[in-house]
Amino acid sequence: MTDTPARLFLGRAPAPGDTVFTAADLTTVREIVICNTDGEPRGAGQTCDVGISLVPSGDTAGLDNRIVPDQAVEPAEQVRIDCATVMEAGDALWVRASAPDRVTVCISGVVHEEES
């Protein structure tokens, strides 16, 4: 098995919520960074709530698979979440934000590929 560090997602969080990554192989999510880019200087701007679900293959995002439950991120601040969450092939990461134009999400991990 080959373990390859990977950026699984980097971008703006979708407003209504959407899939941002689907695992093709066994994958471990190692870090989630949520950054509220609204508010320079600090204190100006709006707090944003971000929710992230790990959705098993064939399922839909919801409270039963939420791994980040509406995390409040203050203006010009970031939240860093260290984890070791395993995704099976076909599982997906789903992200939503209360203010998508103000929130950047970076999800990093390790992809475990079977050697042929």
Q: Are 36 and 73 in contact (CB under 8 A)?
A: yes
Q: How far apart are CA 72 and CA 98, in angstroms?
A: 10
Q: Are 96 and 65 in contact (CB under 8 A)?
A: no
Q: How far apart are CA 67 and CA 63, in angstroms?
A: 9
Q: How far apart are CA 104 and CA 67, in angstroms?
A: 17
* Domains of the chain, first to last: 2-113 (2.60.120.340)
Mean pLDDT over each residue of the chain, to the nearest integer: 92
pLDDT at residue 28, as a whole number? 98
Summarised one tens digit per residue, pLDDT across range 17-57 is 999 999 999 999 999 999 998 876 666 788 999 999 999 99
Q: Are 111 and 4 in contact (CB under 8 A)?
A: yes
The whole-number average pLDDT for the span 62-87 is: 93
pLDDT above 90 covers what percent of the chain?
Answer: 73
